[in-house]
Amino acid sequence: MRIAYIQPIGGASGDMMLGALADLGMPIEHLEAELGKLNVGGYRLEARQETRCEMRGTYLKVDLEDQTRHSPKQLLETVAGSSLSESVKDRSSQVLNALWAAECRVHGETQDILELEELGSVDTLVDVVGSAIGFEYLEVSGIHAGPLVIGNATPPRWAGGYSNPAPATLELIAAAGAPVVGDKPMYEDAGELTTPTGAALITTLADFSRPAFNVDRVGLGLGTKDPAGFPNALRVWLADLAQAEATSSVIQGEVVLLETNLDDVSGLVLGYTQERLFAIGALDVWNTPIQMKKNRPGTILSVLVPKGKEREASELILRETPTLGIRTRPVDRYVADRKMVTIETSLGPVTVKFKLLDGVAISAAPEPEEVRRIALETGTPFQEVYQRTTEAARRELL
């Protein structure tokens, strides 16, 4: 199983993540071609080799040629309406939704009226989607990360501005329960080291752990700062899980089950709550009918989340449903390896998910959204598209 380990040795930003992925071997031409599927312009990519504290790496800058600001809805619709792969769309949307949720909490506004400043420009989209493109190109299935380096607290950089770290960065860190490196003298005058975009990418996509793995290669993404005491850089290790870890099914801890009994909630509320829980990173959400006191029919809302998402998911349930309390307990689960690939079929290219045991593919199925797209484009019944693409996937992959 190919994984990436993110080491924020001197901060984290969208540019630094892109630089590290390019340094690992993602061609700039591939990045530009895939970003072209967003159908947005007004930017230019510039990549060059530089050093930070005698460490060579890639500095990748997104030069804005159009300063137009976009709303969260516009940016998300741009991703959803693109011809990018479903895995890139999914990772990008997860990160953007986490970023907007943090900004909404900071400003006390809902997403539909939230006005973005720096984060509303197209470079935010390029940083987030470009990172998802890079992880897909490098065939990364799992992402892990070390503690975030946010630097020391500093006064506002201008009158009426915010101090370091940025409020949205802290919201993202708090929502994920992410570990943070403590204050150090060398960070004293460095200012902001982890940006909201960098924090969103890592806290949304990565598990804060370092499993046993065999390192393949290392990429270094450079930031704009060049302090004397430490490198303003982010390192990404590309690796394969060690043989002891790569069993036919891996037991995964650090997963939490949240449950609450509801007897005064509509299906509309349950449906919306489920949608929001999946958007913030829930692993699974389901409802179970039960009989409650005084013979009232009720529902158990069950949510499976990574440990780092427990607080955010609990707050969402308390906010969106009438419940006054939530039961929580840690659980373990066995998870088979899986991989997403794109295959050619008689109906066109289709993204397929296949399951692995001991490194051998034992089942394959097309992504439902891909089947839906083809059915709508060709006028072919959904069931027929699903059956034909499934048969094609099994012939090619099994």
pLDDT (tens digit, 9 = 90+) per residue, 244-266?
344 444 555 578 999 999 988 99
Asked if the structure places residue 71 within a domain, the reply is yes
Instruction: Tell me how far apart the alpha carbons of residues 6 and 178 are, in angstroms, rounded to a whole number.
Output: 13
Same domain for 193 and 167, yes or no, is yes
Same domain for 235 and 255, yes or no, is no
Instruction: Tell me how far apart the alpha carbons of residues 87 and 201 are, in angstroms, rounded to a whole number.
Output: 15
Q: Out of 221, 241, 261, pick the residue that ends a domain.
A: 241
Instruction: Tell me how far apart the alpha carbons of residues 115 and 345 are, in angstroms, rounded to a whole number.
Output: 43
Residue 289, pLDDT > 70, answer: yes
Same domain for 155 and 56, yes or no, is yes
Instruction: Tell me how far apart the alpha carbons of residues 308 and 314 are, in angstroms, rounded to a whole number.
Output: 11
Lowest mean pLDDT among 24-28, 40-44, 110-114, 250-254: 250-254
Same domain for 308 and 347, yes or no, is no
Q: Residue 161: pLDDT band by 50, 70, 90 thresholds?
A: low
- Helices 122-137 and 86-107 sit at what angle, rounded to 10 degrees? 140
Is the distance from CB of 234 to CB of 220 less than 8 angstroms? yes
Q: Out of 241, 267, 289, pick the residue that ends a domain.
A: 241
Asked if the structure places residue 383 within a domain, the reply is yes
pLDDT of residue 246: 43
pLDDT of residue 62: 92
Structure confidence by residue, pLDDT tens digits, 191-200: 889 999 999 9
Dig out the tokens for 250 from the structure. Answer: 């891996």
Using alpha carbons only, what angle is made at residue 326 by residues 324 and 329, rounded to the nearest 5 degrees?
165
Mean pLDDT of 343-366: 81
Same domain for 121 and 195, yes or no, is yes
Q: Residue 190: pLDDT band by 50, 70, 90 thresholds?
A: confident
pLDDT of residue 301: 96
Instruction: Tell me how far apart the alpha carbons of residues 95 and 121 are, in angstroms, rounded to a whole number.
Output: 16
Q: Out of 201, 217, 241, pick the residue that ends a domain.
A: 241
Same domain for 36 and 153, yes or no, is yes
Instruction: Tell me how far apart the alpha carbons of residues 378 and 380 are, in angstroms, rounded to a whole number.
Output: 5
Domain of 381, in residue numbers? 337-397
